[in-house]
Chain A
């Protein structure tokens, strides 16, 4: 068996690639550290000097302005120098291989790579390739994982609900294509959540999803009953034209989160969404703007969580 590539010899965090194989104490360390970083964003000087003199390369082989921006802000609030590369428009278009690109950037004395790639496993490949003083953060790879999103979701849930041991959490929508769902299910299990539900049409569920330790509902009214947390997934436009779904309107009618459906959940339920959301497709505007939604706090917490991940990686213990 291969050693866990995410951990160094002392059991500390070396890379953040996936929630799988991430020990509970490291998850807790990340969440606790993040809570100390939340306040920094409200100060006059929104910076701490932890990563002063370090170079963080944002390597986005797949476009995502929002995720890239939050990583950029997080690194800058830690005083790192940030270099953004949209690689699909540069060297790979000229035929350079992924690892050649990495070697070139490492030769520019990179300390950390934040990697987004359409291919599942690309960040693992990079992590195995680089020297041990370089750290890799997976910012979303294919359908595989998006660990910082899973962690910021867990942070948000803990902020509002404090304890996972009595929670019912429903994840609604396109689970099949969602790396967010996979990472969230992983972290919810690590934190000991007893009741994790996925709600979706059969065509948007991966085969054998029950093996992840979740209960499957095809009927949203049944699935939302008495849940504490609702996580809506984004329905990507390109999926709506394919054979999996009839139309966006049809999806909204059967799976969209409306006030009526929200009323089935617990009265203090929170509504989350990884963004960017499609109003009128997976979520109705009154819900998105309503008192149960914590979608914007998720964004704020996301910066603190990404700061915590980078700070712990660079600290190297």
Chain B
């Protein structure tokens, strides 16, 4: 039984991200959060950074690469990008960066709305084990998580964030190549 990592304080990481991002935000910046955890984080960052363009949200269900094996999940939230993507400098926000497949799907969907000038990836936690050539420009922390565990962001009734480890029921496509 591998020892489980000590998880950092998610609230503290949000504060750090805000400070990292603040000098990078300008008039052309817009933010898009990936449903669900990324959207929670994006709501907080968007407000604290006082970004003038309204916050966009995307649900990548229709762009997943494991759709033919796992189907549509029960509740797909409509994506909502309430600004013109063309020419924008976008901050794409997710809670945890892992294989990179979610980010790939989100990028594909974003480009169906238009052609942004740039896209930078913002995550609260980077757990490594990438399966695609994708990297976060802004990460709250790098966390090593044992295989078979998933790192999740939880939000309590007061809106406070906390990390949690969960045993994965279905590893399927998300399992890194070469894993048992």
The residues of A with any CB-CB pair to B shorter than 8 Å are 12, 29, 32-33, 35-36, 38-40, 43-45, 47-50, 311-312, 314-317
Within 8 Å CB of A38, what residues of B? 78
Taking chain A's interface residues, is the majority helix, strand, or loop, or is none over half, making it mixed?
A: helix
Quick check: B76 and A36 within 8 Å, CB to CB?
yes
Can you report 29 A-B residue pairs in the complex whose CB atoms are below 8 A from each other? A12-B71, A29-B74, A32-B75, A32-B76, A33-B72, A33-B76, A35-B78, A36-B61, A36-B62, A36-B78, A39-B78, A39-B80, A40-B62, A43-B112, A44-B114, A45-B111, A45-B112, A47-B112, A48-B62, A48-B109, A49-B63, A50-B62, A311-B62, A312-B71, A314-B68, A316-B68, A316-B71, A317-B70, A317-B71
Quick check: B72 and A49 within 8 Å, CB to CB?
no
Q: How far is the CA of A29 from the CA of B74 in the complex (A)?
A: 6
Q: Which of B72, B75, B109, B112 has the most C-beta atoms of chain A within 10 angstroms of its own C-beta? A: B72
Within 8 Å CB of A39, what residues of B? 78-80
Within 8 Å CB of A29, what residues of B? 74
* Closest-CB distance, B56 to chain A (whole angstroms): 12
Quick check: A315 and B71 within 8 Å, CB to CB?
yes
Contacts A44-B113, A45-B112 given; does A315 touch B59 at CB 8 Å: no
| B: contact size bracket | 20 to 34
Whether B83 sits at the interface, judged by CB under 8 Å, is no
Whether B77 sits at the interface, judged by CB under 8 Å, is yes
Quick check: B72 and A312 within 8 Å, CB to CB?
yes
Chain B 92-114 interface 0/1 with A at a Cβ cutoff of 8 Å (1 = within): 00000000000000001101111
Q: How far is the CA of A16 from the CA of B108 in the complex (A)?
A: 30
Out of A36, A49, A50, A314, name the residue touching B59 (CB < 8 Å).
Answer: A36
Within 8 Å CB of B111, what residues of A? 45
The residues of B with any CB-CB pair to A shorter than 8 Å are 59, 61-63, 67-68, 70-72, 74-80, 108-109, 111-114
Q: Which 4 pairs, one residue from A and one from B, show the smallest C-beta to C-beta distance?
A: A315-B71, A317-B71, A45-B112, A48-B62
Q: How far is the CA of A317 from the CA of B76 in the complex (A)?
A: 15
Q: How far is the CA of A40 from the CA of B108 in the complex (A)?
A: 14
Q: How far is the CA of A12 from the CA of B111 in the complex (A)?
A: 32
Within 8 Å CB of B70, what residues of A? 315, 317
Q: How far is the CA of A43 from the CA of B77 in the complex (A)?
A: 16
Quick check: B113 and A43 within 8 Å, CB to CB?
yes
Contacts A12-B71, A315-B71 given; does A49 touch B62 at CB 8 Å: yes
Q: Nearest A residue to B114 by beta-carbon distance? A: A44
Q: Nearest B residue to A48 by beta-carbon distance? A: B62
Quick check: B112 and A44 within 8 Å, CB to CB?
yes
Within 8 Å CB of B61, what residues of A? 36
* Closest-CB distance, B36 to chain A (whole angstroms): 14
Within 8 Å CB of A50, what residues of B? 62, 67
Q: How far is the CA of A29 from the CA of B77 in the complex (A)?
A: 12
Out of A40, A45, A315, name the residue touching B72 (CB < 8 Å).
Answer: A315
* Closest-CB distance, A258 to chain B (whole angstroms): 38
Q: Which of A39, A40, A49, A311 has the most C-beta atoms of chain B within 10 angstroms of its own C-beta? A: A49
Q: Nearest A residue to B64 by beta-carbon distance? A: A50
Out of A35, A48, A314, name the residue touching B63 (CB < 8 Å).
Answer: A48
Q: How far is the CA of A317 from the CA of B70 in the complex (A)?
A: 7
Q: Nearest B residue to A316 by beta-carbon distance? A: B71
Within 8 Å CB of B77, what residues of A? 36
Q: Nearest A residue to B72 by beta-carbon distance? A: A315
* Closest-CB distance, A16 to chain B (whole angstroms): 15
* Closest-CB distance, A48 to chain B (whole angstroms): 4
Within 8 Å CB of A316, what residues of B? 68, 71
Within 8 Å CB of B78, what residues of A? 35-36, 38-39
Q: How far is the CA of A32 from the CA of B74 in the complex (A)?
A: 8
Out of A12, A32, A315, name the residue touching B68 (CB < 8 Å).
Answer: A315
Q: How far is the CA of A265 from the CA of B92 in the complex (A)?
A: 49
Q: Nearest B residue to A28 by beta-carbon distance? A: B74
Q: How far is the CA of A317 from the CA of B71 in the complex (A)?
A: 6
Within 8 Å CB of A312, what residues of B? 71-72
Quick check: A311 and B112 within 8 Å, CB to CB?
no
10 new A-B contacts at CB < 8 Å, known A32-B74, A316-B68:
A33-B72, A35-B78, A36-B61, A43-B113, A44-B114, A48-B62, A48-B112, A311-B72, A312-B71, A316-B71
